[in-house]
Amino acid sequence: MSASASERLIEATRDLLWERGYVGTSPKAIQQAAGAGQGSMYHHFTGKPDLALAAIRRTAEELRAAAEAALGGPGPAYARIEAYLMRERDVLRGCPVGRLTMDPDVIASAELRAPVDETLDWLRGRLAGIVQEGLDSGEFSGPPRAEEVASTIVATLQGGYVLARAAGSPAAFDTAVRGLLALLSARTDR
């Protein structure tokens, strides 16, 4: 029962953070969504910040694992980047990690912000490594630096989420991704 209550609390917090942000996620809402009482919450976690940190870490780990599943696959650099960009996403909900960057309480807390920063840094680094592979093999033509291309990929994804949410349609995200892939394709020697 103990692990089950802890897991339910973390999962409920993850969902609420994604939907409402940190400020909009009250301990009472977490307890209701998890079907757990106040005593159970404070038995497992010292408070909302501790529980939120566990939820943010879990979300960051899952995002990295999903990204790595596409980026670490076989094939040339372009194909792996394409697989990552085209993977299934809940576009209208936005990026569960990227959305946290818009939450002033998360950004103000070095502890809560750390898994967000680490994940975005990891993603840019992982993408830069793949772009560099493509540059080194001659698949991509220069001169852009791999780090600049990687940042452009991440910025396009995050911006695509914003545009899709604003329009209430995933079409804006899809258009941004297709445009980025067209730019990357123009730099390949395929």
The predicted pLDDT at position 188 comes to: 67
- The pLDDT tens digits for 20-74 are 999 999 999 999 999 998 888 988 899 999 999 999 999 999 999 999 999 999 9
Section 119-140 average pLDDT: 96
Helix (H, G, I), strand (E, B) or coil at 188: strand
Helix (H, G, I), strand (E, B) or coil at 137: helix
Percent of the chain with pLDDT over 70: 96
Asked if omega into 143 is within 30° of 0 (cis), the reply is yes
Query: Cα separations (Å) of 116 from 8, 53, 85, 119?
Result: 22, 10, 19, 5
pTM, two decimal places: 0.91
All domains of the chain in start order, with CATH: 2-186 (1.10.357.10)
- Which distant-in-sequence residues (6+ apart) come within 8 Å of 73 by Cβ? 79, 80, 83
Q: Give the chain's radius of gyration (CA, Å).
A: 19
- The pLDDT tens digits for 67-98 are 999 999 999 999 999 999 999 999 999 999 99
